[in-house]
Structure 1
Amino acid sequence: MNLTSEQKRVVYTLGFCGLVSAADNWFVSPALPAIANALGVAASAAAIVLTAYLVPYGLLQPVCGTLGDRFGRLRVLHVIVAGLAAGTFLCAVAPTLPLLVAARVLTGCFAAGIIAVSQALVGDVVGPEPRGAAVGVLMGITFTGQGLSSGLGGIICDLMSWRAAFACFGVLAVVALALLWRLPVTCGGTADASPRARAEAVDPSAPTGPFLARAARIFFGSHRTVYLVACTTGLVFLGVYGFMGTFLAERCGLGSTQAGLIMMLYGVMCLVGGTVSGRIGAAHGPRGVVYVGEASGLVAIAALLAVSVTGSWAPALLAAGALGFGYILTQPTLVSLSMDADPAQTGLCTGLIGLGVFAGGGVGSALGGQLVAAGGYPLLWAVAAVVLAGQLVLGGRALAALDRRAR
């Protein structure tokens, strides 16, 4: 991936912003037992904290992407990262579970656009050729935060409290905002330039019409397969990851720090996957990258089934690593493919991927809780394996058809 120093600066800064948004959510997974104990509720009931962040985080991504298209990606990022910081500090002081859920919803609403707007901004800055690899690096950094936060959050919870963990991640959000302000305003394109420049750059052929109609045309248009695969990706990958902390605590008797350290491998393999996705794509194409990612997800689920059977935490190391590697190959590839759905609305296109992935993850967390209550964790892992296998076969065929049409 040949980028200039200025392009690398943009990618790494936006990656750090994404890292903070991912860390802000996913440290909660190993912290759920501590949150439940402190607020006097069951761990399964406290899982609503995950859903409270993921659902608005997914639903509002197309909205934030569109706002970035209209008002400038960098300007929108300034607002939403500031809101992320404020919402995270509110979570640190929430006295009850309902108020914590409300604070998480607010935080998710602001954080929703960070990934979608950043992905579109990276596409603007680096151009179409290295776009897939650059987005892979961006997402690798982002979800390194998801994995590392599990360990760091668990350690902070054990040494101090879950409230202190929220406060620490709020400070990181403030740092991210400071780094954003150091980026040159011109990197956001004409929408971030002066009012006169924006007026002169107006494209008379730009898409018009109601937001929902434009979003529906993209989501159910020629690239609908990409968006449907995004939905099942979030359902399985994020849904499974969200339950790993409580699963390791209940099945293996691990504490927040121990479970978090295991889950840190997710982030490490996200970083590894982000750096090699470009090479896999060059050799096998985008569809090949998705195939490898989905196969890695199946390996992760098989390892979690092994933990369920044996009660040993050792296979969870493979599960965390394979899950992170698989996710970071699949999601950024779908983002890159989605940008071709409507090049005039790349923010909306990438936002709809976020809608599919993160709303799918929120639904996965909610359905996962019901599956665990009905048949325990083995049922959850079995259902996830069936869904992912179906995505590998049916989604792979549909992506192949899309690839043939593109040629």
Structure 2
Amino acid sequence: MTEEPRVSWGTSRARGVLAATILGSGMAMLDGTVVNVALPAIGAELGASMAGLQWILDGYLLTLAALILVGGALGDRYGRRRVFLVGVAWFGVASALCGAAPTTEVLVVARAAQGVGGALLTPGSLAILQSVFARGERATAIGAWSGLSGVATAVGPLVGGLLVQAWSWRLAFLVNLPVAAVTWWLTARHVPETRDESAAGRPDVLAAALGALGLAGLTGALVEAPVRGAGDPLVLAAGVVGVLALLWFGARQARSANPTVPPALFADRTFLLSNLTTFLVYAALGSIMVLLVVQLQISLGYAPTAAGLAGLPITVLMLLLSARSGRLAERVGPRWQLVVGPLVIAAGLLLLRFVEPGASYLTGVLPGVLVFGLGLATVVAPVTATVLAAAPDRYAGVASGVNNAVARTGTLLAVAVLPAVAGLSGAAYTDPAALTAGWRTALLVCAGMCALAGLVAWGVDNRVLAEAAVRPEPAEHEAAHPGECLCCGVEGPPTHLSPRGVGPGNA
């Protein structure tokens, strides 16, 4: 990694770096949720079925999840700021194409192009924070990033509602253009360039294509099976191609001398378990945020803006508590927050079962939303900081890419599977009775996933953030341990520095 002056918390440069990374990643996150509230309007104008609406969501998530690992690796190799800037520009152009789309099919293609831009900028934002902030301040910076970026996710339905009612669903995409311009300016002015100087070779394009093909095949099979039937030749072929492509991707990564995702990362138990926790939580989060705004509009008769406002308490809680949650995890360790947070989310999901026709906002909607938001604020910042702390610094971009890919893949698969599990297909989402029945089923499934996430997180090493804070810089470590080790690449003495501390117990 290039030697750059460390950015200190509270300085003007720190504020500039935070603003750039939060706006960039927030733009991608906002677009992932602002579209949710616009789905009924899009469906009405373009004549889209339930499968069409799923593809509008999954077209974006598909390329984002499939290419986000490549985005992280490109940043590590060629410069995190450079790749982040390319992603911002790409996302802005694709947003303009979405805003002008005349048909469902064109919109799906433009959304897939948006996902490519998101895959370039999203992992870069976290990798920039991890590489430019002083070690003892990274959890605080990531907490602030998680809270303010998470606000973009939660406020998306509100923004979408306002834009849809003000003119058209097309504004939900066109609003990204000025945001992209401001993000570009802030990044060019405040963010220092960093990269992994030891990275060699070129990104594995074939591996990226296999990952994209695998996810596309599985997603296509899961979305189209309720419409065409599980035995349909096209559905079967898509599923088989998807599975084979993902198996080939895994085998290629295991054999590669320069893999996109170093398999050694997953040898760390904390890295593995915190990513699994991320997958389960974000699968529940993504699918419920989609269904909530649709349930409020179709079954309870909310206007788009009112449906967006209904989730505003989540925004407030994330804004107030996420940075504090990150600092708490740094002081006492992240395990309890990773266990309790998903269980609180599960409780909030069960309370949301009262969101049904005739329910008032104060007694039917607000209690579940408050508990749900409290759980998110508890878990989001600590799980992100834990994933990054569990990986060697040289893999900051890759680790960020893995965590983002896991989160988006969880949402992608949940959006593809959950409507069918809940009995929603075709035009069933336009029927309040059918939608409410599916809503209740979906909440139970997602609450179960969150409860499982809490159990999984019990195995996370509670010392990971404290040990990462005192880990020496890579240059210092290589000087102290000539020859490579797990932190630097290959074997070393049994008492060398591991990714999470010193001593044979951590090697």
Same-fold call, TM cutoff 0.5: yes
Question: 68, 87, 90: which is aligned to 1:83?
Answer: 90
- Structure 1 residues 7-406: aligned runs within 5 Å: 7-42=14-49, 45-184=52-191, 187-189=192-194, 202=198, 209-212=257-260, 214-219=261-266, 221-222=268-269, 223-282=271-330, 284-308=332-356, 311-314=359-362, 315-339=364-388, 340-373=390-423, 376-393=438-455, 395-400=456-461
For 2:297 and 2:54, locate their aligned partners in 1 and report how far apart those are by CA, in whole Å: 14
Q: 1:329: how far off?
A: 3.6
Contact 2:72 / 2:397 at 8 angstroms: preserved in 1? yes
Q: What is the Cα deviation at residue 44 of structure 1?
A: 6.0
Could you tell me how far 1:252 is from its partner in structure 2? 1.2
Unaligned runs of 5+ in 1: 192-200
2: distance between equivalents of 1:114 and 1:312? 40
Partner Cα separation in structure 2 for residue 60 and residue 379 of structure 1: 32
SS in structure 2 of the partner of residue 47 of structure 1? helix
**Contact 2:281 / 2:449 at 8 angstroms: preserved in 1?**
no
Q: 2 CA distance for matches of 1:148 and 1:354?
A: 20
Q: CA deviation at 1:154?
A: 0.7
State percent identity of aligned pairs: 24
For 1:81, give the aligned amino acid: V
Give CA deviations for 1:289-344 in whole Å, capped at 9, x if unaligned.
22342133123202211214863343333434443443344233222222222322
For 2:382, the aligned partner's letter is T
Structure 1 residues 141 and 276: CA distance shift in structure 2, 3 A: same
- Scaled by the length of structure 1, the TM-score of the pair is 0.88
The CA deviation at 1:176 is 1.7
Q: Which runs of 5+ in 2 are unaligned?
A: 1-7, 201-255, 425-436, 465-499
Matched residue SS, 1:209: coil
Report if aligned partners of 1:269, 1:322 keep a CA contact under 8 Å in 2.
no
Aligned to 1:194: none
How many angstroms does 1:230 deviate by?
A: 1.7
Letter in 1 for 2:264: R
Pair 1:49–1:67, CA change in 2 (3 A): same
Q: Aligned Cα RMSD in Å?
A: 2.6
Kept after mapping to 2: 8 A contact 1:237/1:323: no
Contact kept in structure 2, 1:68 and 1:74, CA below 8 Å: yes
SS of structure 1 residue aligned to 2:102: coil
Residue type of the alignment partner of 1:166: F
Give how far 1:262 is off.
1.2
Q: C-alpha separation between the residues in 1 aligned to 2:398 and 2:317?
A: 28
Identify if the C-alpha distance between structure 1 residues 389 and 120 changes in structure 2 by more than 3 Å, giving closer, same or farther.
same
Name the structure, 1 or 2, with higher relative contact order (CA <8 Å, separation 6+).
Answer: 1
1:20, CA displacement in angstroms?
A: 1.4
Q: How far has the Cα of 1:254 moved from its partner?
A: 0.9
Q: Is the 2:387–2:403 Cα contact (8 Å) retained in structure 1?
A: yes
How far apart in 2 are the matches of 1:378 and 1:331? 25
Contact 2:159/2:308 (CA < 8 Å) preserved in 1? Answer: yes
Offset of residue 268 of structure 1: 2.3
Structure 1 residues 103 and 372, CA gap change in structure 2 (3 angstroms): same
| Alpha-carbon distance in structure 1 between the residues aligned to 2:130 and 2:367 | 33
Structure-2-length-normalised TM-score:
0.72
Equivalents in 2 of 1:44, 1:317: separation in Å? 30
- Rg (Cα) greater in structure: 2
> Structure 1 220/144 Cα, relative in aligned 2: closer, same or farther at 3 Å?
same
CA–CA distance in structure 2, aligned partners of residues 351 and 45 of structure 1: 28
Cα distance between partner residues in 2 of 1:391 and 1:45: 30
Aligned length: 392
Of residues 145-154 and 115-124 in structure 1, the stretch that sits farther from structure 2 once superposed is 145-154
CA distance in 1: counterparts of 2:58 and 2:113, whole angstroms: 12
Letter in 2 for 1:347: G
Instruction: Quickly say closer, same or farther: Cα 1:51–1:292, change in 2 above 3 A.
Output: same
8 Å CA contact 1:252, 1:313 repeated in 2: no
Distance 1:310 1:296, change over 3 A: farther
